[in-house]
Amino acid sequence: MQPTYPMDDTQWSKLIQNVAYYFDDLTLKRGFQYYKQSRIRSFTMTEPSKITALVEGREDYRVTIDLDSFTRCHCNCPVSGHCKHMAAVLLSFAEQQNRSVQVLANAKAASFLPKTSISSPVGTDGKQQQQLKEHVSRIADGGITEWREYFAFCITPLAHTTRNPEYVDRALSSITKFKPKLSPEMDKLFTLHAHLFLLEKLAKPSANLPGQVAFTSSLGYYTQVAVSELQEAITRLLKSTLPLSPEQAQEYDLWPHIVETLSYLRREMLTESRDRLRDQPSFSLCYDLLWRNWIYPNTGGTKLYLDEIKQLQQAESELGASLSRHAWLLAQSRMYFYLKDDPKAWELLNKAAERPGLHPDELMSFTSPLLDAGEWSRLVGWLAQIGPLLSSRLYNLNNYSNSWEEAVRHLPEAEPKMWNTLATMLPISGEVYEEKLITYEKWQTWMDYQLSIGKLPSEFRVTDLQPMEKNAPEVLLPFYHQAVERFVLDKNRHSYKAAVKLLKRLSKLYKKMKQEERWEEFLIAFTTKHSRLRALQEELRKGKLIP
């Protein structure tokens, strides 16, 4: 991706105002969904105020954005005016500028929201002050239970407040205002749990009622935005380092808190709803990141993973019907992955994928540690296993494709397995498969694939076929010849014109291959065969193919 021009605060404020003025709230919501689904491709900034991009919809739509004049923005989709494809590009631009995507997505609605105070919601009467002191005094020496009691006390005055990003800001402000000074490592854990507590409050508002779990997909739009912001903050925390050597664990008493955190996330992950997945389940992601970034890099041996497998197996009977079998099998697979027992991990992963319920990001999460560690042989095995499981058409396979690229670069002998896997994944892998065939200059295989799926030359831009015309023109001959015959069989003037265009391209190909005599023989046979088609003969003369 080309670098973007930096944007200052004044330009950012102007962008928010323009988005609020030119876009309605529904369009921004739909644009936000396209942005979340990574549908923006070929993003380019040619000037500080000019953006061009392709957005995947029912087809690829070309978007042009003029940041200085929104009236000159354009998209070639059927919608007149400012559309969701433009909104998606602007949200992607905000992300690249390290600006808040949510602020831009909420620009229209925010322009109608009343300003509210963000002062601390905790009251100031004597009784509350005493309760506050008691909660604060238990933070430093207490565990996760005491922390959560403190969080609950701090946000009590917000009980009837609308769940939106401002609610989260006010809650976090109240929680951090009174907490005592902690070591940097403990403070990071405390902050993580504050965010997890609020995530649970927003994503599972009815969790306090027995047997009742709310689905994130049923949340209101602004609550969903707040959940997304919380998840992004939690992800950043869990991707940062947390030194956890035995000495530091003893000094700061970190390890008991890590064990409590793991226990909490395990239970939440195993009972999390997986209906109508659009994003990776929140607690499943947190559980994965905790192991990947905080536990795995700081521990050795096998005991932790074997203990976790026992905990997961015990949870099956403890949680009963509330257990998510997908999450349960996935978590066990992850432990065997860390134990480097890949066949057992694959067996469990395939069981988890037997029914819909796994998010593609959960499958791809196994590849990141292998890429980081340079375990290329294992990476090849995992890519071959998870490829056929990536069955969601909405998932962008770029990360999967790039992982294969890295694996083959370091392990060239793995290339045949890459081709076999991508072929097995068709038609889901079609776009990636085609791109790689061109990159690796496998022209004949590329053409065989186009013929097998019934593609016509008219479905390609001229530039798409230029690599074949330049490097292997002979592979295009059957492609063009078959298409010409198809057009002639339609027996109408429009099709005859299309056939003549292709015949002209065939003429150039034969000339490039220095086979003019073969071309002349074909053209004579073609005109003789179709001599009774008067309209075709007229088009051939207009095209100056026959006298």
Q: Are residues 51 and 138 in the same domain?
A: no
Identify whether 465 is part of a domain.
no
Average pLDDT estimate for 489-510: 92
Confidence of residue 276 (pLDDT cuts 50, 70, 90): low
Q: Are residues 239 and 271 in the same domain?
A: yes
Structure tokens at 458: 């008219």
Structure tokens at 509: 């190909």
User: Nearest-CA neighbor of 385 among 331, 342, 436?
Assistant: 342
Give the pLDDT score at 178: 86
Q: How far apart are the first and last CA of the chain?
A: 51
Residue 123 in this model has a pLDDT that exceeds 90? no
Separate counts of helices (H) and strands (E) for the chain: 28, 4
Average pLDDT of the chain is: 87
Give the pLDDT score at 212: 40
Give the pLDDT score at 130: 80
Residue 289 in this model has a pLDDT that exceeds 80? yes
Residue 275 in this model has a pLDDT that exceeds 50? yes
Average pLDDT estimate for 65-77: 89
Average pLDDT estimate for 259-275: 92
- Phi, psi of 122, rounded to the nearest 5 degrees: -70, 130
* pLDDT tens track for 172-196: 999 998 888 888 889 999 999 999 9
Structure tokens at 266: 């395990």
Q: How many Cβ atoms sit within 10 Å of the Cβ of residue 539? A: 21
Residues in the chain: 547
Residues 6 or more apart whose CB falls under 8 angstroms from that of 95 comprise 35, 101
* pLDDT tens track for 40-53: 988 898 888 899 99
Confidence of residue 218 (pLDDT cuts 50, 70, 90): low
Q: Are residues 131 and 96 in the same domain?
A: no
Of 110, 134, 152, the last residue of a domain is: 110
| Amino acid symbol at 289 | L
Average pLDDT estimate for 105-130: 60
* pLDDT tens track for 336-376: 999 999 999 999 999 999 888 888 999 999 999 999 999 99
Give the pLDDT score at 122: 53
List the single range of 247-251, 279-283, 344-348, 466-470 with lowest mean pLDDT: 247-251
Identify whether 275 is part of a domain.
yes
| Amino acid symbol at 192 | L
Residues 6 or more apart whose CB falls under 8 angstroms from that of 232 comprise none
Q: Is the bond leading into 427 cis (omega within 30 degrees of zero)?
A: yes
Give the pLDDT score at 393: 58
List the single range of 105-114, 254-263, 403-412, 500-509 with lowest mean pLDDT: 105-114
Q: Looking at per-residue confidence, does 215 or 432 come out higher?
A: 432
Average pLDDT estimate for 124-137: 76
Identify whether 509 is part of a domain.
yes
Give the pLDDT score at 383: 97
Identify whether 418 is part of a domain.
no
Q: Looking at per-residue confidence, does 147 or 298 come out higher?
A: 147
Q: Are residues 156 and 257 in the same domain?
A: yes
Q: Looking at per-residue confidence, does 165 or 392 come out higher?
A: 165
Instruction: Judge whether 367 and 330 are in contact, CB under 8 Å.
Output: no
**252-255 long-range contacts, Cβ below 8 Å, gap at least 24?**
252/183, 252/185, 252/186, 253/186, 254/185, 254/186, 254/189
Taking the C-alpha atoms of residue 395 and residue 412, their distance in angstroms, rounded to an integer, is: 27
Confidence of residue 114 (pLDDT cuts 50, 70, 90): very low
Determine the angle formed by the axes of helices 430-439 and 443-452, rounding to 10 degrees: 150
Identify whether 60 is part of a domain.
yes
Give the pLDDT score at 189: 94
- Phi, psi of 426, rounded to the nearest 5 degrees: -60, 145
Residue 78 in this model has a pLDDT that exceeds 60? yes
Q: Are residues 105 and 200 in the same domain?
A: no
Taking the C-alpha atoms of residue 1 and residue 443, their distance in angstroms, rounded to an integer, is: 26
Q: How many domains does the chain have?
A: 3
Residue 295 in this model has a pLDDT that exceeds 50? yes
Give the pLDDT score at 163: 85
Average pLDDT estimate for 20-35: 89
Q: Are residues 85 and 135 in the same domain?
A: no
Q: Are residues 149 and 103 in the same domain?
A: no
Of 282, 301, 320, the last residue of a domain is: 301
Give the pLDDT score at 1: 42
Average pLDDT estimate for 434-452: 93
What order do you get walking across the sheet with 40-47 strand by strand?
40-47, 50-56, 60-66, 74-75
Confidence of residue 444 (pLDDT cuts 50, 70, 90): very high
Confidence of residue 262 (pLDDT cuts 50, 70, 90): very high
Q: Are residues 45 and 135 in the same domain?
A: no
Q: Looking at per-residue confidence, does 86 or 9 come out higher?
A: 86
Q: Are residues 96 and 131 in the same domain?
A: no
List the single range of 245-254, 358-367, 397-406, 519-528 with lowest mean pLDDT: 245-254
The reported pTM is 0.73
Residue 247 in this model has a pLDDT that exceeds 60? no
* pLDDT tens track for 518-536: 999 999 999 999 999 999 9
Taking the C-alpha atoms of residue 432 and residue 419, their distance in angstroms, rounded to an integer, is: 11
Of 266, 301, 336, the last residue of a domain is: 301
Taking the C-alpha atoms of residue 152 and residue 156, their distance in angstroms, rounded to an integer, is: 6
Taking the C-alpha atoms of residue 466 and residue 459, their distance in angstroms, rounded to an integer, is: 14
Identify whether 242 is part of a domain.
yes
Confidence of residue 80 (pLDDT cuts 50, 70, 90): confident
Q: Are residues 186 and 262 in the same domain?
A: yes
Identify whether 321 is part of a domain.
no
Residue 216 in this model has a pLDDT that exceeds 60? no
526: domain range? 474-542
Give the pLDDT score at 127: 75
Q: Looking at per-residue confidence, does 217 or 67 come out higher?
A: 67
Q: How many Cβ atoms sit within 10 Å of the Cβ of residue 227? A: 21
Q: Are residues 131 and 279 in the same domain?
A: yes
Q: Are residues 169 and 77 in the same domain?
A: no
Identify whether 489 is part of a domain.
yes
